[in-house]
Structure 1
Amino acid sequence: MAPKPTSSIRSFASSDRFLAEIATDARRPGYVLAGDESFLYQRCRAGVLAELAPPDQRDFCLHDLDLAEVPIFDVLDRAQTPSLMVPFQVLFVRGLKTLYGRGQKKEEFAAIDAYFRRPNPSALIIFVADHLSIPTDLRRMDMQDKERFERIRETLGDWCGIVELSRVDEGDAARWLAAEAVTRNTQIHPDAARELVDALGADMMLIASEFEKLALYAQGKQLFLIPPQHDQAQPVADIPTPTITLGDVETMVLAAKQRSLYELTDAISAKDRPRALALLHGLLNASDGGEDSAIGHLYMLARTFRQMLIILEKNVRDSRAIWSVLWHGFRMPPFAAEDLIRQARRYKSRADLTRALRLIARADLEIRSSPPDKRLVLERLILALASEPKPAASGSFHQFAIDL
């Protein structure tokens, strides 16, 4: 199914123009999808397949190639050779950065130039430049990415359409949620949309995935409002449209739950024991309180303190530098970056954070040993983390104080 047009949303404008163009005679023989915004890439790909690659022909007309594995010469040869099985071919070519590696690649670019001077009208080549990261505001684009992007424009821009897959603006992401809800006969409260976007850092792939879950959850709640004796063939009067609320987001979306976790670590780092205990009880009341839940809280605490340890060791002072010291998959949501830097700077040394990790490790071992009261284990841990450590015993220069 082709993606629905989103002409009123600015962040989708480039992909909308691309999808509109490929459906007309103005279609160019090649395009470059520039940027690592996966949601917009999948949207563009779905539109191309819906328009040019019927499902019953895709085994013969669709080619997914990677320049790290296949030379550009073979790609161009495949595009130039008409297929005996289908009237049209679509080639998605990844690994574009291979063309811009070491060496001048004169032969490769000469071959590209020769092909596009006389392209096969029954083929479409789509280069995927997902090694570029294009921010919402192009003025904030990384210098290296900017140079790479200009190089692509200089070498392919004369022949290929350039489609910018930049990061989606937070406001545009919220507008997409409202529009998408309408197509599902569902509503989403503005506060819920803002919370979902903020909690997920405007990551559209995550937002779309979580919205799917929330829409099903909201529709499922409506089933309880339908009278048991109701005839399913007749419409139900006075039953409101399924609505996604702020509470639904906080209940169903892990990143939204993490807000409470960062509030907890804020209280711990500030040594505010009453607030830390109150926040812990809030987290426990929002979950089932079982062993899996307790271990999950400990895991997130350990992860957060490890992040703070790296931030302190690398002397990170602003959120722009945090992404260079925390690797992909070990980063916090964007909304928490400044808070976590501030919390990390409250600790005087690496030893204080190492002590916290040891306390969490001990609590984890105790939880897994089936204690009579898991809540009590977590309460003791939070009190210990939010207290100043006792001085080390005389002569224990290499032992951190972990007994309180």
Structure 2
Amino acid sequence: MAALRSFASVDRFQAEIASPNPKPGYVLVGDELFLLERARKAVLAQFVPGDLRDFCLHDLDLAETSIFDALDIARTPSLMAPFQVIFIRNLKNLYTRGAKKDEFAAIDAYFRAANPQALILFVADHLRIPADLRRMDYQEKERFDRIRETLGDWCGVVEMGRVDEGDAVRWVIEYAAQQQTNFEQDAARELVDALGADMMLIASEVEKLLLYTLGKGRITLGDVETQVLAAKQRSLYELTDAISRHDRAAALALLHGLLNASDGGEDSAIGHLYMLARTFRQMLIILEKNVRDSRAIWQALWQGFRMPPFAADDLIRQARRYKTRRELTRALRLIARADLELRSSPPDKRLVLERLILDLAAEPKPAPAGFVSGQYAMEI
């Protein structure tokens, strides 16, 4: 596949970890899940043999494990595996609530004498990096610079920015060509536009289209319209429509339909939650910027964060059912709580989602007297 600009940072990372002298640590910065997964797979393929995975792969969360304990794991050789890989999520915890001088001193001390048989990967997926870095939010840029200043001396910084729409179209066409299928240019463009250049969704839909057209050797615009657009109309936006109408029975039925139709069943729960969070964030911006028609929505929402064109009017109508920002920020907090619960390996993921949908679709309670809405949380 030809080099794509949006993939360049991850491509360099893959080449570097395959070299004889990779850095002892890297920071994966950005919330583009497709690129994060691509980087993770490259690390596992390079350093984690399948039969030793339980002994050499560590997925840690700074919300549950201190950085001191994480560094101890990296520093201690394993008796069962020759190499250790440590993924450390929730990096934002190092940059909140105090200076964290002891924590950064410990990081500095570790990397001055890093274990050559260990690789640390900090995951900073609380930051959003646009396809065009010049359009990066000022606050996000400050956070990014802070990470560079504190970890950049020791760790490689890998940008997981949003994929440019043009690169997404090229990826679709070239990936299909690798599977001996001609993905027509118009069809690829329609797919990317419909899914808002969301690479995780695009990759999933491309796989489905390849199966749907198996033996034909060609994917046309009609195939995309039949298998992707109609399906999206019947799924996520119907669910958020029922939620915004406070129709709990319909919302629950639509959730079950989504889960039953997903290839991964309950394991697709994280993906559905991600899309719900994205949609409610879009509605929050629509409400705050008082967007009233689809012509204005493309100015309010940036590239890579737009909904499919066919859903614009529906989402504006849904957003306007919420009377205050407080109602939407409550929804985002509920989704964030469900996300944390899902990542804690609950016994029943379906139950977590059902409870979330019932809470989201519940009639809003009146704000207490004297209540003043604070700053909303956008980091889901």
Which category describes the TM-score, using the shorter chain as reference length? 0.5 to 0.7
RCO comparison, higher one (Cα < 8 Å, 6+) = 2
Cα distance, 1:315 vs structure 2? 2.5
1:279 aligns with none
1:393 aligns with none
Q: Aligned match of 1:100 in 92, 95, 114?
A: 95
> Are 1:181 and 2:176 an aligned pair?
yes
Q: Is the Cα contact below 8 Å between 1:249 and 1:256 reproduced in 2?
A: no
Q: Aligned match of 1:319 in 297, 301, 319?
A: 297
Alpha carbons of structure 1 residues 311 and 48: separation in structure 2 relative to 1, 3 Å: closer
Aligned residues: 270
**Which 5+ residue runs of structure 2 have no aligned equivalent?**
238-256, 258-278, 324-380
Q: Is the Cα contact below 8 Å between 1:35 and 1:166 reproduced in 2?
A: yes
Output the amino acid matched with 2:40. Answer: R
Deviation by residue 1:318-359 (Cα, 9 ceiling, x = unmatched) = 4378569xxxxxx97153687679x86xx9xx9xxxxxxxxx
Give SS of 2:213's match: helix
1:254 aligns with 229
**Which 5+ residue runs of structure 1 have no aligned equivalent?**
1-5, 223-240, 263-291, 293-303, 325-330, 351-404
Structure-2 separation of matches of 1:90 and 1:308: 39
Q: Aligned match of 1:68 in 50, 56, 63?
A: 63
Structure-1 separation of matches of 2:115 and 2:205: 41
Structure-2 separation of matches of 1:123 and 1:42: 20
Cα distance, 1:186 vs structure 2? 1.4
Give SS of 2:87's match: strand
TM-score (norm 1): 0.61
> Are 1:117 and 2:128 an aligned pair?
no
Structure-2 separation of matches of 1:99 and 1:16: 27
Structure-2 separation of matches of 1:310 and 1:31: 33
Structure-2 separation of matches of 1:248 and 1:71: 50
Alpha carbons of structure 1 residues 80 and 320: separation in structure 2 relative to 1, 3 Å: farther
Q: Is the Cα contact below 8 Å between 2:168 and 2:192 reproduced in 1?
A: yes
Cα distance, 1:196 vs structure 2? 0.3
Alpha carbons of structure 1 residues 311 and 23: separation in structure 2 relative to 1, 3 Å: closer
Output the amino acid matched with 2:229. Answer: L
Alpha carbons of structure 1 residues 206 and 257: separation in structure 2 relative to 1, 3 Å: closer
Deviation by residue 1:170-192 (Cα, 9 ceiling, x = unmatched) = 11011111111122121101111
Alpha carbons of structure 1 residues 258 and 177: separation in structure 2 relative to 1, 3 Å: same
Q: Is the Cα contact below 8 Å between 1:15 and 1:40 reproduced in 2?
A: yes
Deviation by residue 1:89-127 (Cα, 9 ceiling, x = unmatched) = 000100000000010000000000000000000000000
Q: Is the Cα contact below 8 Å between 2:26 and 2:121 reproduced in 1?
A: yes
Equivalent residue runs for 1:106-145 within 5 Å: 106-145=101-140
Q: Aligned match of 2:23 in 24, 28, 39?
A: 28
1:89 aligns with 84
Q: Is the Cα contact below 8 Å between 2:25 and 2:119 reproduced in 1?
A: yes
Give SS of 1:15's match: helix
Considering only CA atoms, is the larger Rg found in Structure 1 or Structure 2?
A: 1
Alpha carbons of structure 1 residues 7 and 106: separation in structure 2 relative to 1, 3 Å: farther
Deviation by residue 1:181-234 (Cα, 9 ceiling, x = unmatched) = 122121101111000000000000000000000000000xx3xxxxxxxxxxxx
Cα distance, 1:151 vs structure 2? 0.2
Alpha carbons of structure 1 residues 320 and 100: separation in structure 2 relative to 1, 3 Å: farther
Structure-1 separation of matches of 2:187 and 2:203: 14
Q: Aligned match of 1:210 in 197, 205, 211?
A: 205
Give SS of 1:253's match: helix
Structure-2 separation of matches of 1:89 and 1:35: 24
Cα distance, 1:314 vs structure 2? 6.3
Output the amino acid matched with 2:22. Answer: R
> Are 1:16 and 2:27 an aligned pair?
no
Alpha carbons of structure 1 residues 155 and 255: separation in structure 2 relative to 1, 3 Å: farther
Q: Is the Cα contact below 8 Å between 1:200 and 1:255 reproduced in 2?
A: no
TM-score (norm 2): 0.65
Cα distance, 1:144 vs structure 2? 1.3
Alpha carbons of structure 1 residues 187 and 110: separation in structure 2 relative to 1, 3 Å: same
Output the amino acid matched with 1:22. Answer: I
Percent identity, aligned pairs only? Answer: 67
Output the amino acid matched with 1:17. Answer: R
Alpha carbons of structure 1 residues 310 and 88: separation in structure 2 relative to 1, 3 Å: closer
1:401 aligns with none
Structure-2 separation of matches of 1:9 and 1:43: 14
Equivalent residue runs for 1:182-201 within 5 Å: 182-201=177-196
